[in-house]
Chains A and B, each alone.
Chain A
Amino acid sequence: MSDQLQQVINKQNNALIGDENKIDDVVQLVGFIVGEEEFAIPILSIQEIIKPISCTRVPQTPTYILGVFNLRGSVIPLIDLRARFGLPLQKHSEETRFVVMKSGDDVAGFVIDRLTEAIRMPKRDIGPAPETVSEAETMIDGVGKQSDRIVTILKVHKLLERNF
């Protein structure tokens, strides 16, 4: 009898552990469009997403740094992802958003063309970054495959790294 009970308990435990594994196996991402492509970053590295507000140009910076803006009292740099990825600049539209990302103490706002959706993606659907080594690609953490599309997952800490 006690053996049976033990078995039941073990089974339940296994089931629980299995559940946890399943949760671990799913990454939550936020997808957005820059240029023609869809990118994604882990949802936990996003501090907030805001509509475009005015920013102040900072001299002696690369063109992809649009300047700094005031986010409730903090001065935060603003980086245009189009320019960062070598795409031509575009006027802000109704759908343009600033995605404020953080990694450790580093915070910066990134201009994206359009948000898509929050994505839950099993880890097994994420492949490694293509093995070409150009500067832009080192920012790629991996490539997520979904039934109808491919999402490029970016390394937030890399985006927040100063490279000038």
Chain B
Amino acid sequence: MDEFEEILQDFLVESFELIEQLDQDLVELETRPDDLELLNRIFRVAHTIKGASSFLNFDTLTHLTHHMENILNLARHGDILIDAAIMDIILESIDLMKALLVRIRDTRADDGLDVSACVVRLDAAVNGEASVEAEAPVPQAPSEPVAAAVDPVDEEEPDYSGMSDAEVEAEIERLIAIKNAEAVAKRTGGAPTALVEEEEPDYSGMSDAEVEAEIERLIAIKNAEAAAKHANKSSESNASADTQAAAPSAAIVPTPAPITQAAPVAKPAAPAAAPRRAEPKEDAEAKGATVEQTIRVDVKRLDHLMNLIGELVLGKNRLIKINDDVEERYEGEAFLEELNQVVSIVSLVTTDLQIAVMKTRMLPIGKVFNKFPRMIRDLSRELNKKIELDISGEDTELDKSIVEEIGDPLVHIIRNSCDHGIETGDVRVANGKEEGGTIQLKAYHEGNHIVIQIIDDGKGLDTDMLKSKAMEKGLITEKEADGMTDKEAYGLIFRPGFSTAAQVTSVSGRGVGMDVVKTNIEKLNGMIDIDSELGRGTSMKLKIPLTLAIIQALLVGVQEEYYAIPLASVLETVRISKDEIYTVENRSVMRLRDEVLSLVHIGDIFEVERVFDNSEHAYVVVLGLAESKIGLIVDTLIGQEEIVIKSLGEYLKGIEGIAGATIRGDGGVTLIVDVAALMQMAKSVKSTVGDEAGGTKKLGVKNSASDYCVMIVDDSKTDRTIMRKSLESSGITLVEAVDGVEAMNILKQGDHFFDAMLIDIEMPRMDGYTLASEIKKYNKYKNLPLIAVTSRAGKADRMRGVESGMVEYITKPYSFDYLLNVVKRNIKFNEGL
């Protein structure tokens, strides 16, 4: 059974690959119906699938492909001309074939789909009634079961009546061949030479062409024999009986072809009709150098490789950081240069390796583009418009996971272009355009992005119409509509529920498609840019990062926290002063050149407690995603770094606004912002950007004297007692520390919120100056008043105190009242009461 499964897998992989090419070939065929090379290629696909499926016992599929093969065979001999009607039937049968293959992939069986209607139409097309049949689709009872066993001889019979003499002759020959092959197949062990003896006709009387045909036929029989032998070997049970019958039929079908050709027609078609089994070799020879050497690799292995590279990149980041630290500490030492070299080589190789592995996951975007010619063809027939598709840059490569995601959005965009964009022929002519519309599909690289552009020369987007439609559907208010720029109005088409179509057609109009486009592109961290000119056409630009696992990110800080923002979504960063922030309808906005940008503070999104905020300036990171833009206010910009996206795991997955986490060079974890979610959240977050001035008040609500808290740092017990005595009377809460280290620890524990600190300068372990500068390193203590209490009264000492961040300098000895007053002044005692 395993062996069968293996064969089946190979069959499915091969079939789907063949079909992918098939669609494109067929559409091309319609424009060049007499291209023999194309026809042969298409014929071979049907033939290959038929052969393999009969071997694997998929009767329905065999039945269908057999009839397809018939019609294609006739076409490539020029007996019928492929027109649009016949093409429709062929395409329909190919769709059916695809459905069957999908079914086989999913259920391991090909039953449950009715092919009889299609088969009847195929047969009708063979008999030249195609046009009639196509107009009135056969109302065949769909429940009629398909003949389970496909007898190759039976199927051939109905054609006899319409055959010319030569054809009848060929048919007879063929039947004999089948008989013989069957006989051979039955006793597969038999000597192959016996066949030649049996078959030996009078060669001397034959024309050259006939001899050639005869040789071909013999090869076919040989092949059939070999196939039967092989079949016998590989499958022992009941399968063998079927395969014996099937194998000869697969191999023999081409045999009548050379003979029919040889007799009445003088076409140089013999090589094209060579039996299929010999074909691949020829193909390979013909293509020669162009065939690339490839191996199939399981995607899982590539994913694993990519994960390992991710770890390596993290290691590299860490190494670079350590190298910087070491460089600082051991400046000028000889070994540094060596270390530097090693680090830079490792980092270089890691980067190269990352690119190389990324490339192994790359697929040409042509894989997605391939299905569009067929789609356009169907749509243009359905909509009765002339539409041409112009594809360029299909060799552009991008990550497999992205290729998989990009298909759906493109389908929706192109459907939209066909339905809403391109006008009908007469309208186009009336507007002085060519009758046929064109849709261009382009792909190209731009930096670390791939750009996919869909350009149509249709009627373009009418912003007024879009706005009024949106208002009609209650998506926007009139006021919003008035303030909209053209770009924002174009963006309306991405709103769920929005549609400009007057009525829902099978092609579009449900108001879902463009919403799908937006969500999918956002998922890929991509951007959408729409440009349109009324009456001239629309251009849609999708900008998508090349890969998803390792990305460039902008690191930003808010209070003591850091977040990583995918650089792909960052348009620019600006430093603004707080005065430039305006409040409009409870939302903060700023003017960025000639645009109005709405703002949101990262702290409001991620519930960061804002302990201080007194700086005059703010940094705004302008984020762009799909077609929308927003300004994110942050406290600090740290810089750009290459980060590896790690999931937060099952327990924490789905946290709004967080796309994952990454590990930084220092070993800490930094969360990655999910820009799409952030933009959604920004809509509902109440802005606090404007009232930051009052921000500190809410934290320091003081109801009584004991809510104030002051730390006393002094190594001398006496001095601590004196200070305590001075302040005790006021009722202020006092905390004592014996030196700088302890003071730092108390601060870090955060059990108290200190309003001021009294610091002695001379202390063991950590002195007052060091303590002060350590404290000032923390953003949240920037405003904490530090008061030096010391016996050092020199001017230089005072200066040092100021440098390290002290606000007051009290020299010992001092009076109780003086100390109390200084403290009260600094903590704004009484003001809050």
Residue among B606, B657, B663 making CB contact with A73, cutoff 8 Å? B663
Closest residue of B by beta carbon distance from A54? B668
Q: How far is the CA of A69 from the CA of B751 in the complex (A)?
A: 23
- Tell me whether B649 and A75 are in contact (CB under 8 A): yes
| A76 at the binding interface (Cβ < 8 Å) | yes
Q: Which of A147-164 contact B (CB under 8 A)?
A: 160, 162
> Residues of A within 8 Å of B, CB-based: how many?
25
Closest residue of A by beta carbon distance from B750? A91
| A70 at the binding interface (Cβ < 8 Å) | yes
| A57 at the binding interface (Cβ < 8 Å) | yes
- Tell me whether B671 and A107 are in contact (CB under 8 A): no
- Which of B668, B669, B751 has the largest count of A CB atoms less than 10 A from its CB? B669
| A61 at the binding interface (Cβ < 8 Å) | yes
Q: How far is the CA of A162 from the CA of B653 in the complex (A)?
A: 10
Q: How far is the CA of A58 from the CA of B751 in the complex (A)?
A: 21
- Tell me whether B656 and A107 are in contact (CB under 8 A): no
Q: How far is the CA of A94 from the CA of B606 in the complex (A)?
A: 31
Q: Which residues of B contact A105 (CB under 8 A)?
A: 650
Q: How far is the CA of A67 from the CA of B749 in the complex (A)?
A: 17
| B696 at the binding interface (Cβ < 8 Å) | no
Closest residue of A by beta carbon distance from B662? A75
- Tell me whether A60 and B651 are in contact (CB under 8 A): no
- Tell me whether B749 and A91 are in contact (CB under 8 A): yes
- Tell me whether B655 and A56 are in contact (CB under 8 A): no
Q: Which of B600-638 contact A (CB under 8 A)?
A: 605-608
Closest residue of B by beta carbon distance from A56? B669
Q: How far is the CA of A60 from the CA of B657 in the complex (A)?
A: 9
Q: How far is the CA of A78 from the CA of B714 in the complex (A)?
A: 37
Q: Which of B662-700 contact A (CB under 8 A)?
A: 663, 667-671
A101 smallest CB distance to B (angstroms): 11
- Tell me whether B661 and A68 are in contact (CB under 8 A): yes
Q: How far is the CA of A7 from the CA of B314 in the complex (A)?
A: 66
Q: Which of A136-156 contact B (CB under 8 A)?
A: none
| A77 at the binding interface (Cβ < 8 Å) | yes
Residue among A54, A60, A76, A108 making CB contact with B656, cutoff 8 Å? A60
B666 smallest CB distance to A (angstroms): 9
Q: Chain B 336-351, CB within 8 Å of chain A: the 1/0 string?
A: 0000000000000000
| B658 at the binding interface (Cβ < 8 Å) | yes
- Tell me whether A56 and B651 are in contact (CB under 8 A): no
Q: Chain B 15-33, CB within 8 Å of chain A: the 1/0 string?
A: 0000000000000000000
| A112 at the binding interface (Cβ < 8 Å) | no
Q: How far is the CA of A85 from the CA of B780 in the complex (A)?
A: 31
Q: Which residues of B contact A68 (CB under 8 A)?
A: 648, 652, 661, 669, 671
Residue among A61, A70, A160 making CB contact with B669, cutoff 8 Å? A70
| A86 at the binding interface (Cβ < 8 Å) | no
- Tell me whether A61 and B314 are in contact (CB under 8 A): no
- Tell me whether A61 and B652 are in contact (CB under 8 A): yes
| B37 at the binding interface (Cβ < 8 Å) | no
- Tell me whether B607 and A59 are in contact (CB under 8 A): yes
B106 smallest CB distance to A (angstroms): 27
| B647 at the binding interface (Cβ < 8 Å) | yes
| B41 at the binding interface (Cβ < 8 Å) | no
Q: Chain A 39-62, CB within 8 Å of chain B: the 1/0 string?
A: 000000000000000111111110
Q: Which of A9-60 contact B (CB under 8 A)?
A: 54-60
Known: A56-B671, A61-B652, A91-B751. A75 touches B606 (CB 8 A): no
Closest residue of A by beta carbon distance from B681? A60
A99 smallest CB distance to B (angstroms): 15
Q: How far is the CA of A68 from the CA of B311 in the complex (A)?
A: 18
Q: How far is the CA of A108 from the CA of B609 in the complex (A)?
A: 26
B605 smallest CB distance to A (angstroms): 8
Q: Which residues of B contact A56 (CB under 8 A)?
A: 561, 661, 668-671
Q: Which residues of B contact A54 (CB under 8 A)?
A: 668
Residue among B652, B663, B749 making CB contact with A58, cutoff 8 Å? B652
| B792 at the binding interface (Cβ < 8 Å) | no
Q: How far is the CA of A61 from the CA of B426 in the complex (A)?
A: 60
Q: Which residues of B contact A108 (CB under 8 A)?
A: 649, 651
| A115 at the binding interface (Cβ < 8 Å) | no
Known: A56-B669, A73-B311, A75-B663. A162 touches B650 (CB 8 A): yes
Known: A56-B669, A56-B671, A69-B669. A77 touches B651 (CB 8 A): yes
| A4 at the binding interface (Cβ < 8 Å) | no
B645 smallest CB distance to A (angstroms): 10
A100 smallest CB distance to B (angstroms): 12
Q: How far is the CA of A15 from the CA of B572 in the complex (A)?
A: 77
Known: A75-B661, A91-B749. A58 touches B648 (CB 8 A): yes
- Tell me whether A60 and B655 are in contact (CB under 8 A): yes
Closest residue of B by beta carbon distance from A68? B669
- Tell me whether B652 and A59 are in contact (CB under 8 A): no
A110 smallest CB distance to B (angstroms): 12
Q: Chain B 743-771, CB within 8 Å of chain A: the 1/0 string?
A: 00000010100000000000000000000
| B469 at the binding interface (Cβ < 8 Å) | no
Q: How far is the CA of A73 from the CA of B655 in the complex (A)?
A: 21
Residue among A58, A70, A106 making CB contact with B650, cutoff 8 Å? A106
- Tell me whether A59 and B606 are in contact (CB under 8 A): yes
Q: Which residues of B contact A77 (CB under 8 A)?
A: 648-649, 651-652
| A132 at the binding interface (Cβ < 8 Å) | no
Q: How far is the CA of A55 from the CA of B670 in the complex (A)?
A: 9
A residues at B contact (CB < 8 Å): 54-61, 65, 67-70, 73-77, 91, 105-108, 160, 162
Q: Beyond A68-B671, A70-B669, A73-B311, list 5 extra A-B contacts (CB 8 Å).
A: A59-B605, A61-B652, A68-B669, A76-B649, A162-B652
A-B pairs, 10 with minimum CB distance: A59-B606, A56-B669, A75-B661, A77-B651, A75-B646, A59-B607, A68-B669, A77-B652, A70-B669, A70-B663
Cross-chain pairs A/B with CB under 8 angstroms, 6 sampled: A56-B671, A57-B561, A59-B655, A60-B655, A77-B649, A77-B651
B residues at A contact (CB < 8 Å): 311, 314, 561, 605-608, 646-652, 655-658, 661, 663, 667-671, 749, 751
